[in-house]
Chain A
Amino acid sequence: DAGVTQSPTHLIKTRGQQVTLRCSPKSGHDTVSWYQQALGQGPQFIFQYYEEEERQRGNFPDRFSGHQFPNYSSELNVNALLLGDSALYLCASSSGVGRATYGYTFGSGTRLTVV
């Protein structure tokens, strides 16, 4: 049973560029949430997708956008990259929009470095 798969694992981009990160949820899960984790910090919620729509959004600018496909996979897009966008980007999947009592399943993340 495959868990959450994220690609790529590492990425280096230049300031001002655009980046797309991808996530395939765990089999049986239909909800995908994206988090940003800066070094030495806890993850920060970016947004959540369910039924191909953004359901909730954290305190992130419009430069951060996403998409969910009919097969439940998801993309995170970041435009006009800033040095401060350098972080580990985590994708978490769960079943249904809600409190995921039994926990989210996280991917290993994409390490984005902006230079």
Chain B
Amino acid sequence: GQSLEQPSEVTAVEGAIVQINCTYQTSGFYGLSWYQQHDGGAPTFLSYNALDGLEETGRFSSFLSRSDSYGYLLLQELQMKDSASYFCACFSNYQLIWGAGTKLIIKP
């Protein structure tokens, strides 16, 4: 089957760095995406990795290792507004297959 595994919850302190891991098992893998979703809100696109390596977008970075079927999202200089759920997702047959999401809790 196709699945993505990520931790259900991660806690960090404001100003710190946090890493959210994602392992996947899919057929026809085309790349790994990351989305942020605040409670009651729409998922918003953060990043996409098609090739191995690190992609950086401001305070957020995303990494992919295709040989390990593994990726992570790195959030730096955490702010309280970063408190949200983060989802990894990958494309298969023109649809996004999603992980169950990681709830990021940030403490002052």
Residues of A that sit less than 8 Å from B by CB: 4, 33, 35, 40-45, 48, 55-56, 58, 90, 97-109
Contact = CB atoms under 8 A, between A and B. Distances in A.
B44 interface: yes
A97 B94 contact: yes
Given A99-B94, A101-B31, A101-B50, A106 B100 contact: no
Contacts of A103: 33, 35, 45, 48
A56 B100 contact: no
B104 interface: no
Contacts of B98: 42-44
Interface residues of B, number: 25
10 contacts: A42-B87, A42-B98, A42-B101, A43-B43, A48-B95, A97-B94, A98-B94, A103-B48, A104-B45, A106-B43
B105 to A, nearest CB: 14
B93 interface: yes
B6 to A, nearest CB: 9
Interface in B14-57: 30-31, 33, 35, 40-45, 48, 50
B93 to A, nearest CB: 6
